[in-house]
Amino acid sequence: MGMGMMENLGSVSTLWSALVSVLLFWPVVNNHVPAGLRQWLTTMVDKLTSYLSPYLHVTISEYGHERFRRSDFFLAVEAYLSHACARRARKLRADLGKDARTVQITVDDHQEVTDSFGGATIWWYPSKKPPRTNVISFYPRDDDARFYRLVFHRRHRDLVLDAYLPHVLAEGRAVTVRNRQRRLFTNNAPGSASPYSRKGVWSHVPFEHPATFDTLAMEPADKDAILDDLTAFRDSKDYYASVGKAWKRGYLLHGPPGTGKSTMIAAMANFLDYDVYDLELTAVKTNTDLRKLYIETTGKSIIVIEDIDCSVDLTAKRSSDKKKKKSSDEDDDDKPKLPTEQDKDEASKVTLSGLLNFIDGLWSACGGERIIIFTTNHKEKLDPALIRRGRMDVHIEMSYCRFEAFKVLAKNYLGVEQHDMFAEIRRLLEEIDMSPADVAENLMPKASMGKKRDPDACLAGLIEALNKAKVEAAEAAKVKEEEEAKEEEEAAKEKKEDDEAAGKVDETHEELFVLDDGTIYVRTERGVVFSLLHAYDMALH
């Protein structure tokens, strides 16, 4: 028994020294052994170490199998570690946290962190994959792939895999939600990142717009309706799942400039506590890029495309169709042709169909809890396919400032809820179209008044501005009327000249009719009837 033990120990120590020598000579082996053998040796050494070592490794990489986006699990681990264990690490990284007021601590790369769970000790190693110097790679992304390695004793295997990892995931997610600094994203200009780089397609800043529904001037009933709609959307994850719809909602905000469309978006984001992705469509080159942008957005977000009528050429599809037809007509020879510069240009544009796919194609169901908002000053210019219900579920018209909206502004800007001048302002606002932006501008204290907010002066200033706008509007209407009358006159004149040139006799043809004998007669407006031959004679002379 004793001997057996000794022998055992002896064989273990021989094994050790063998292992040590393998490790010592590893670099030499590595350089002088053919690739196939080296591969085999590597596997063997790995096997040996894992057989001898009682520790297990789990790797969580930043980009898992989903090549398109960062792994949720990785992000959760990051959040969990910074929350639960950062204080125990010796090298930390500090960033500005929520609202840029608090400091957020995370674990620096290559810092070992220990955690304990249910009596087990777990080591975490955040690290980066070293650049592969001896491999020429077309994918620089491999160079800076970050990952977390988790090490634990194998007797805790079940505990770690079945209980600890789910715990990390849940905690990490909860921490992320708690520390969430809402962000305003914008898409990067094309070409600023190489197609393979891991630099995200969006860049962001903290979202700090102060607008709320309380400060938004609009009809109270409309405002309540929108608030109800948003609340219902936020709380109806299960409903969307049960009816088989992707959990997203489209809003179309339309109306003249300065009526609060952008302000409304900020208010919505603040109300729902969502991130905002401001998508600059003119900077997106292709439909594929558009899809990539969509996939990289997270849930709980509002995706905004401002001035949709200006940013996508909705006729692009049709004109390229036409071009195709034309060029195929001209192509007599069967030789394949390279695409011309212009063709390439067409192909690289975002098209209407690409945009429709973006909103409700299959990919749009990824993630969920997204609101898509389009704004426009000209709803009538938009393709009906783009704004049909189901794509843009709610159409909100933001219009000129009426009295109810004015009251909100007066309260916000002047702190006044009642005033003698309100009656007159009400009357004026009813007949004059002034945008809330202009009204607000008039309620701001002017430099000439000093810093003091004087409601009387401000309101009087507003009345003056409204009266001025009224006069201007009346003048503009008059000018327009005159122009229209002139145009009509000219059109009539032109028509007359055309008719005469075409040889038609004025004052004729109230109606044409054919008699039984085959002669054609014309009845003029004055009731004179003559045969067409006669009319022809008249035109000639």
Q: Which residue, 212 or 319, has its beta carbon nearer to ligand ATP? A: 212
How far is 226 from 396, CA to CA, in rounded Å?
A: 9
Q: Which residue, 45 or 283, has its beta carbon nearer to Mg ion? A: 283
Q: Which residue, 160 or 268, has its beta carbon nearer to ligand ATP? A: 268
The answer to whether the beta carbons of residues 259 and 399 sit under 8 Å apart is yes
How far is 177 from 171, CA to CA, in rounded Å?
A: 10
Given 111, 187, 262, 301, the residue binding Mg ion (CB under 5 A): 262
Q: Quote the least distance from Cβ 428 to ligand ATP, whole Å.
A: 18
How far is 21 from 9, CA to CA, in rounded Å?
A: 18
> Which 252-281 residues touch ligand ATP, going by CB under 6 A?
257-263
Alpha helices (H) along 33-137:
35-52, 72-84
Given 250, 354, 436, 461, the residue binding ligand ATP (CB under 6 A): 436
Q: Quote the least distance from Cβ 256 to ligand ATP, whole Å.
A: 7
Partner whose footprint covers residue 440, from ligand ATP, Mg ion, none (CB < 5 to 8 Å by kind): ligand ATP
End-to-end CA distance of the chain: 141
The answer to whether the beta carbons of residues 78 and 85 sit under 8 Å apart is no
Q: Quote the least distance from Cβ 260 to ligand ATP, whole Å.
A: 3
Please name the amino acid found at residue 148.
Y
Q: Quote the least distance from Cβ 352 to ligand ATP, whole Å.
A: 22
> Which 198-257 residues touch ligand ATP, going by CB under 6 A?
215-218, 257
Q: Which residue, 165 or 253, has its beta carbon nearer to Mg ion? A: 253
Q: What are 493's two structure tokens?
A: 């004149």
> CB under 5 A: which stretch of 258-266, 317-325, 336-344, 486-494 binds Mg ion?
258-266
C-alpha distance from residue 86 to each of 75, 176, 314, 464 (Å): 15, 15, 52, 62
- For every residue of 308-320, DSSP letters joined together read HHHHS-TTHHHHH
Nearest 5°: the CA angle 535, 540, 541 is 100
The answer to whether the beta carbons of residues 331 and 399 sit under 8 Å apart is no
> Which 31-50 residues touch ligand ATP, going by CB under 6 A?
none
How far is 256 from 409, CA to CA, in rounded Å?
A: 18
Q: By 3-state DSSP, what share of the chain in percent is helix, strand and coil, each rounded to 5?
A: 50, 15, 30
The CB density around residue 93, as the number of other CB atoms within 10 Å, is 14
Q: Quote the least distance from Cβ 304 to ligand ATP, whole Å.
A: 11
Q: Quote the least distance from Cβ 370 to ligand ATP, whole Å.
A: 21
Q: Which residue, 82 or 262, has its beta carbon nearer to Mg ion? A: 262
Contacts with Mg ion: how many residues (CB under 5 A)? 2
> CB under 5 A: which stretch of 195-203, 205-213, 255-263, 362-370 binds Mg ion?
255-263
Q: Quote the least distance from Cβ 145 to ligand ATP, whole Å.
A: 41
Q: Quote the least distance from Cβ 257 to ligand ATP, whole Å.
A: 3
Q: Residue with the closest Cβ to ligand ATP?
A: 260
Partner whose footprint covers residue 260, from ligand ATP, Mg ion, none (CB < 5 to 8 Å by kind): ligand ATP
Q: Residue with the closest Cβ to Mg ion?
A: 262
Please name the amino acid found at residue 391.
R
Q: Which residues are CB-contacts of 92 (< 8 A; sequence separation ≥ 6)?
A: 86, 105, 106, 107, 108, 111
Q: Which residue is listed with tokens 């006159």? A: 489
**399 touches ligand ATP by CB under 6 A:** no
Q: Which residue, 246 or 440, has its beta carbon nearer to ligand ATP? A: 440
Per DSSP, 106 falls in state: E
Q: Which residue, 126 or 260, has its beta carbon nearer to ligand ATP? A: 260
Q: Which residue, 383 or 441, has its beta carbon nearer to ligand ATP? A: 441
Please name the amino acid found at residue 162.
D
Q: What are 292's two structure tokens?
A: 């990539």
Q: Quote the least distance from Cβ 498 to ligand ATP, whole Å.
A: 42
**309 touches ligand ATP by CB under 6 A:** no
Contacts with ligand ATP: how many residues (CB under 6 A)? 16
User: Which residues, listed in sequence order, are joined to residue 372 by a DSSP beta bridge?
Assistant: 250, 303
Q: Which residue is listed with tokens 């021989």? A: 14
The answer to whether the beta carbons of residues 269 and 302 sit under 8 Å apart is yes
Nearest 5°: the CA angle 518, 521, 522 is 155
What are the φ and ψ backbone dihedral angles of 301, each rounded to 5 degrees?
-145, 160
CA neighbor of 303 nearest in space, from 176, 202, 213: 202
Given 71, 236, 377, 524, the residue binding ligand ATP (CB under 6 A): 377
Contact letters for Mg ion, residues 342-381 (x by CB under 5 A): ----------------------------------------
**437 touches ligand ATP by CB under 6 A:** yes
Q: Quote the least distance from Cβ 283 to Mg ion, whole Å.
A: 18
Binding site for ligand ATP (CB under 6 A): 215-218, 257-263, 377, 398, 436-437, 440
Q: Which residues here bind Mg ion, judged by CB under 5 A?
A: 261-262
